[in-house]
Amino acid sequence: MDERTQVITHTDGEVGITLGALYRFWFSPPYPITIVYVTVSPSVDDTDASIDIDDDGTNVISAIDCSDKNVPGTWKSVDVNGTNAPVKVAANSLMALDANNMASGTRAMVQIHYKA
């Protein structure tokens, strides 16, 4: 990959709150982007927890493991020596994160690496 990537970092969650579908982080890129790498990590070990990324209500990246606070889950495109196709996102798309099977009080940190 010759282009440099940019990173969106987001952390969410708090005691007594359960993160779920479309839990937070609606963002809308003002220009087209291509997601090439994602890393996720929970604040505590949380068996079976995972994160999805949605684009205009459609799941485009599914079930990134977010269960082990010491081993970040990753999604890698072929641009960064992974096996997934890069995900193109149109300008002004509504992006969201979904938390799956996440326990109450678990915080999630997500980093989305993209090319503009």
Q: What pLDDT score does 69 carry? A: 93
6-115 classified as CATH 2.60.40: no
**DSSP-assigned letter for residue 65:** E
Q: For the chain, give every domain's residue range.
A: 6-115
User: What tens-digit pLDDT sequence spans the chain (116 residues)?
Assistant: 456 788 888 777 766 666 665 566 678 899 999 999 999 999 899 998 999 999 998 999 999 999 999 999 999 999 999 999 999 999 999 998 888 888 888 888 999 999 99
- Determine contact, residues 35/55, Cβ cutoff 8 Å: no
- Residue 24, pLDDT score: 61
The first and second tokens of residue 4, run together, are 């440099």
Q: Give pTM, 2 decimals.
A: 0.87
pLDDT of res. 25: 63
How far apart (Å, rounded) are the C-alpha atoms in residues 111 and 109?
7
